[in-house]
Amino acid sequence: MPVIKIDLPKISKEQKKEIIKTVSKAISEITGIPEQFNTVIISENLDENIGIGSKTLEEVKESLNKK
């Protein structure tokens, strides 16, 4: 059945629950497959391990905070 993999920066437990709930519901509505057969896997990545353009996400956030 559906396996949905999501890569994100570190998020709270509450945010993970909301993502799992929302994604499972949407997949079920679109495919007609009951929610209990969906698997959602959230992988958290440190900001220093995510690159946007030529900078790490950590650097991007730092530059935005300076503005």
Q: Tens digits of per-residue pLDDT, 16-58?
A: 999 999 999 999 999 999 999 999 999 999 988 989 999 999 9
Alpha carbon separation from 49 to 12, 17, 20, 59, 65 (Å, rounded): 18, 23, 23, 11, 19
Question: Any residues with CB less than 8 A from the CB of 35 and at least 6 apart, and which?
Answer: 24, 25, 27, 28
Instruction: For residues 55-62, give the mean pLDDT.
Output: 92
56, amino acid identity: T
Residue 34 and residue 29: Cα distance in Å, rounded?
8
